[in-house]
Amino acid sequence: MDWQREKERLLRTLSNLGIRDEKVLAAIGRVPRHRFVPKPHLDMAYANVPLPIGEGQTISQPSMVAYMTEKLRVGTGDRVLEIGTGSGYQAAVLAEMGCEVYSVERIPALAAGAEEILRELGYRVKIRVGDGNAGWPEAAPFRGIMVTAGAKEVPGPLMEQLETGARLIVPVGLPWLQYLTIVERTREGFRHEKDIPCSFVPLVGPYSY
């Protein structure tokens, strides 16, 4: 496969779908997505579709990765928490944005696989196996928190780990349909915004369905 050509095609698709942040597009353009996709699906590595990665989990479609990254509004030097490491692809994109990335994954095999690939590619992402609902309190506060699994409500512990002015993005709703919910911590409290519809694998734990 001509990975560079496939990558350029993906970037055109993302631009046509409304992704405007040049830093986000540049970050996605630098991440070799094919390294995070299992061999049986390599021919679809840069297609704008979610793909299975084993353990009943998926790698999100690139347009959703781009959209959530754009909405998080983070950049160089920002400390960011990701809940749901999965393949490690989203963490790589955040690292390419210049963020200091912490990522929590509940499935040990996925965490180990993501850690190996990220290390091979030179990304310094901190990964732990654990309950994403609890976040990573000793590393808080975070400039951004991204949850890549659907929840029935916004996890309270994650809200408390935001710094003032920071954003938490989490899919909230039903098992078959959620809406991205953007929570911003202000000096007056938390502001919630219901955004686009989406469909993610479920967040396991107290905030599950």
Span 103-156, pLDDT tens digits: 999 999 999 999 999 999 999 999 999 999 999 999 999 999 999 999 999 999
Residue corresponding to tokens 């990304």? 123
- Identify the bridge partners of residue 54 per DSSP, sorted by sequence position: 57
* pLDDT digits 0-9 by tens, 181-200: 999 999 999 999 999 999 99
Which one-letter DSSP state was computed for residue 202? B
Which pLDDT band holds residue 206 (cuts at 50, 70, 90)? confident
CA distances from 149 to 4, 37, 76, 105 (A): 30, 18, 25, 11
Domain 3-198 homologous superfamily, CATH: Vaccinia Virus protein VP39 (3.40.50.150)
In one-letter notation, the amino acid at residue 190 is F
pTM of the predicted structure, to 2 decimals: 0.95
Calculate the average pLDDT of the chain: 96
Six-digit token string for 96? 């390419």
Asked if residue 209 has pLDDT above 80, the reply is no
**pLDDT tier at 22, thresholds 50, 70, 90:** very high
Show Cβ contacts of residue 15 under 8 Å, excluding neighbours closer than 6 positions: 25
125 CB neighbour count, 10 Å cutoff: 22
DSSP-derived 3-state class of residue 101: strand
Q: Catalytic positions, please?
A: 60
